C-alpha cells in the first residue's frame, strides 16, 4: 500500500501545478514562456494558414479535427505499407499487409495503440519514430483541444470566458459560439506541454537503462546453441523516447510486444514507478485544469473528488483480488508476472492503465485473477474514472449531463446545467453516445464467438468470453491493452477492431462538443435556491450511481458469463 499511496500522492502533487499551466496554455493568454516557444509555433501557423486568435464555431472545430485525422490516416497508413523500402530499417522489417497497416494506423490515430503486431520485429525505426511516436504526440493533444472547446461551450464560449464564466453569447445560434481555434490548441499543446514532458521523462528513463539508439541491436550466442538456433539478435532502437510519450500521452502499446514487462523497456523499480506515475500525470492535470480554465473551482473540485473516489475503489479491489488467488488460498498470483516487480506492482499498473486510456502493461493481463480482469473491463466500460487526455473528461461530462437530467426529473425540477436547460435535442445526442457502446461491443463479441474459428481463442469456456469481450472493450474505450491469447493478426480482428476504434473515439469527442455549443446558445437563467446544486457530495453519489447503473444494466450478463463465472470456476478447482 505504501507504493500505491506514494504513487497517487506524487501524481496529485505534480498534477496541481501542471493543471494550472495547461489552463494558461489553452487560454492562449500571454505567458512568460512565449519567447521560448513562439519561434517554433509561428512557422507552423503560417504553414497551416491560420491565426491563433481566429475563433471557430463547433462545426468548424469538429471539421478541422476530423480533417486532420483523415490526412494523418492516409500518410501513416502509407508509411506502414512501404516501410521495407524506406530508410532506417536495420532489422529488415517487412511491409505490413493493408489490413494490419490500417488497424495499426487507426489504433494509434485514435490514441488507442492496440497492437496486433510485435514492434521490435514488424516495424522499422522510421515507422516507429514517425508513424507511431508522431501520432502518440499529436493525438492526445487533439482530444485535449476538443475537451477545452467543450468547456468553452459549456461556459458560454471563449469570449464569454474571457469576461465572466457563464455569460451568454449575443446570438441564439449554436454555430456562432466561439469554442476556440483547433489548430492553436493542438500546436500549443504539442509544443508547450507534451514534447517538453516527453523530453524530461525520456532522459530519466535513459538514465535507468532504457535504450535510446539508432543502431541495430547486437548479436548474442545462446548458452545452449544448436544448428537451428546459432545466434540471437537483441532488438534495440530509440526505445526511451517512445516509452516516455506512450506513458505521458495515455497512449500505451510498447516498443516490444510484451510492453513494459520487458526489462529493456522497464529495467528497474524506479523506472517502473516513473512509468506508472506518467500514466496518471497528464489526465489528473486535465482535471486540475478545469477550475482555473473555467473559473468554477468548486466544479473542478467536484470532478476531481468523483474521479478519485472511483479510482480508489477500483484500485483497492484490484490489489485485493490479485493478492489472493481465491477463497482456497491466500497466495499471490505470480503466473504471468515479472518477479522483479511482483503481484502488487502488476495489479497497480493494471488498474491504473485501464482507469486511464493508456493500455500499456508490465504483466500479462490474461494471467491476472478473473476479478482483476473484471476490474480492468469495468474501468474501460466506464471510461471516465480518469480517462485518456481530454476524452476521459469528455466522457465524464456525458455522465454529468445524464445525471443532471435524471436528477432534475426525479426532484420535479427542469433539468438545468449552469442555468441552461437540458432539453430533447441534447438528450437524444446523449442517448446516441450511451447506446452506441453496448451495440458495438455486444454485437461484435457475439459475432466473434458465434462463428467457429473466428475468434482464435487460446482458452475455452468462460475465459474465452472474457478474452473476446476485453479486446473489443479495449478498442472502443481507446485503451489498447489486451488479454492476448487471441489470434488477432487476421483480417477479421483487424477490420472489426478498426470499426470499434473509430466508433469509440470520434462520436464520443464530437457529440459532447455539439451538446455544449447547443447549451451555450441558450439563454442563461440565474441560479437560485431552486437550482440543482451539482457541486455537493449528494450529487457526487448520484453521479456515481448513474455510472454504476449504466455499466451494470448494459454489461452485467457478459460480465457474469465471463470473469465472474471464471472466478467461481477457479475457486472450485482450488477447493479440490
Distances (CA, A) of 307 to 19, 97, 120, 384, 388: 15, 41, 36, 8, 13
pLDDT of residue 552: 80
Distances (CA, A) of 94 to 40, 85, 119: 35, 9, 12
- Note whether 390 and 146 are within 8 A (CB): yes
**Alpha-carbon span 290 to 429, nearest angstrom:** 23
Furthest-apart CA pair in the chain: how many Å?
83
Residue that has been written with the C-alpha cell 478498442 in this structure: 475
**Alpha-carbon span 469 to 463, nearest angstrom:** 10
The mean predicted confidence, pLDDT, of the chain is: 90
Torsion of CA 259, 264, 269, 274, to 10 degrees: -60
Res 161 pLDDT > 60:
no
List the one residue out of 395, 401, 389 whose CA is nearest residue 518.
401
What percent of the chain has pLDDT above 70? 94
Q: What is the pTM of this model?
A: 0.92
Instruction: Categorize the per-residue pLDDT at 158 as very low, low, confident or very high, splitting at 50, 70 and 90.
Output: low
Instruction: Categorize the per-residue pLDDT at 73 as very low, low, confident or very high, splitting at 50, 70 and 90.
Output: very high
| Cα of 355 vs its chain's centroid, Å | 8
**Alpha-carbon span 370 to 327, nearest angstrom:** 13
pLDDT of residue 324: 63
Q: How does pLDDT run across 275-301, given as a tens digit for each residue?
A: 999 999 999 999 999 999 999 999 999
Domain boundaries, given as residue ranges, for the chain: 388-575
Instruction: Categorize the per-residue pLDDT at 206 as very low, low, confident or very high, splitting at 50, 70 and 90.
Output: very high
- Residue 261: count of CB within 10 angstroms of its CB: 22
**Alpha-carbon span 226 to 248, nearest angstrom:** 42
Distances (CA, A) of 529 to 166, 405, 412, 536: 18, 18, 14, 14
Amino acid at each position: 500500500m505504501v507504493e500505491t499511496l506514494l504513487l497517487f500522492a506524487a501524481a496529485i502533487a505534480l498534477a496541481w501545478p501542471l493543471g494550472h499551466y495547461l489552463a494558461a496554455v489553452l487560454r492562449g493568454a500571454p505567458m512568460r514562456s512565449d519567447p521560448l516557444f513562439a519561434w517554433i509555433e509561428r512557422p507552423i501557423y503560417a504553414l497551416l494558414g491560420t491565426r491563433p486568435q481566429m475563433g471557430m464555431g463547433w462545426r468548424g472545430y469538429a471539421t478541422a479535427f476530423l480533417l486532420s485525422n483523415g490526412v494523418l490516416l492516409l500518410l501513416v497508413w502509407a508509411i506502414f505499407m512501404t516501410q521495407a523500402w524506406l530508410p532506417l530499417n536495420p532489422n529488415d522489417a517487412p511491409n505490413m499487409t493493408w489490413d494490419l497497416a490500417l488497424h495499426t494506423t487507426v489504433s494509434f490515430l485514435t490514441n488507442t495503440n492496440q497492437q496486433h503486431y510485435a514492434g521490435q520485429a514488424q516495424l522499422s525505426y522510421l515507422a516507429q519514430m514517425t508513424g507511431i511516436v508522431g501520432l502518440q504526440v499529436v493525438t492526445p493533444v487533439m482530444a485535449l483541444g476538443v475537451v477545452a472547446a467543450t468547456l468553452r461551450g459549456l461556459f458560454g464560449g471563449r469570449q464569454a470566458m474571457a469576461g465572466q464564466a457563464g455569460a451568454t453569447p449575443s446570438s441564439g445560434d449554436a454555430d456562432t459560439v466561439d469554442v476556440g481555434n483547433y489548430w492553436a490548441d493542438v500546436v500549443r499543446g504539442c509544443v508547450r506541454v507534451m514534447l517538453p514532458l516527453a523530453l524530461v521523462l525520456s532522459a530519466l528513463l535513459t538514465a535507468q537503462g532504457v535504450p535510446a539508439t539508432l543502431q541495430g541491436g547486437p548479436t548474442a550466442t545462446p548458452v545452449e546453441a544448436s544448428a537451428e538456433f546459432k545466434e540471437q539478435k537483441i532488438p534495440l532502437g530509440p526505445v526511451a523516447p517512445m516509452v516516455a510519450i506512450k506513458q505521458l500521452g495515455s497512449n500505451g502499446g510498447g516498443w516490444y510486444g510484451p510492453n513494459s514487462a520487458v526489462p529493456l523497456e522497464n529495467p528497474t523499480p524506479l523506472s517502473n514507478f516513473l512509468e506508472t506515475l506518467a500514466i496518471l500525470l497528464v489526465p489528473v492535470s486535465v482535471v486540475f485544469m478545469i477550475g482555473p480554465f473555467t473559473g468554477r473551482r468548486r466544479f473542478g473540485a467536484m470532478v476531481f473528488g468523483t474521479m478519485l473516489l472511483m479510482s480508489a475503489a477500483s484500485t483497492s479491489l484490484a490489489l485485493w483480488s490479485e493478492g489472493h488467488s481465491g477463497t482456497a488460498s491466500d497466495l499471490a498470483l505470480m503466473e504471468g508476472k515479472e518477479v522483479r516487480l511482483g503481484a502488487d506492482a502488476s495489479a497497480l499498473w493494471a488498474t491504473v492503465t485501464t482507469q486511464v486510456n493508456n493500455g500499456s502493461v508490465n504483466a500479462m493481463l490474461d494471467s491476472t485473477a478473473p476479478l482483476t480482469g473484471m476490474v480492468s473491463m469495468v474501468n474501460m466500460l466506464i471510461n471516465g474514472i480518469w480517462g485518456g487526455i481530454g476524452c476521459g473528461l469528455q466522457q465524464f461530462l456525458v455522465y454529468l449531463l445524464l445525471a443532471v437530467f435524471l436528477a432534475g426529473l426525479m426532484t420535479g425540477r427542469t433539468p438545468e446545467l449552469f442555468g441552461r436547460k437540458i432539453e430533447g435535442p441534447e438528450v437524444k445526442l446523449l442517448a446516441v453516445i450511451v447506446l452506441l457502446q453496448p451495440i458495438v461491443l455486444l454485437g461484435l463479441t457475439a459475432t466473434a464467438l458465434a462463428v467457429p474459428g473466428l475468434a482464435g481463442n487460446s482458452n475455452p469456456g468462460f475465459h474465452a468470453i472474457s478474452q473476446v469481450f476485453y479486446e473489443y472493450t479495449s478498442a472502443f474505450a481507446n485503451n489498447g491493452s489486451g488479454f492476448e491469447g487471441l489470434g488477432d493478426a487476421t483480417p477479421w480482428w483487424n477490420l472489426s477492431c478498426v470499426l470499434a476504434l473509430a466508433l469509440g473515439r470520434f462520436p464520443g469527442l464530437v457529440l459532447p462538443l455539439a451538446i455544449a455549443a447547443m447549451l451555450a446558445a441558450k439563454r442563461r437563467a440565474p441560479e437560485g435556491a431552486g437550482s440543482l446544486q451539482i457541486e455537493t457530495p449528494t450529487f457526487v453519489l448520484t453521479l456515481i450511481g448513474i455510472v454504476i447503473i449504466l455499466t451494470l444494466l448494459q454489461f452485467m450478463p457478459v460480465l457474469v458469463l465471463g470473469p465472474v463465472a471464471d472466478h467461481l470456476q477457479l475457486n472450485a478447482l482450488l477447493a479440490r
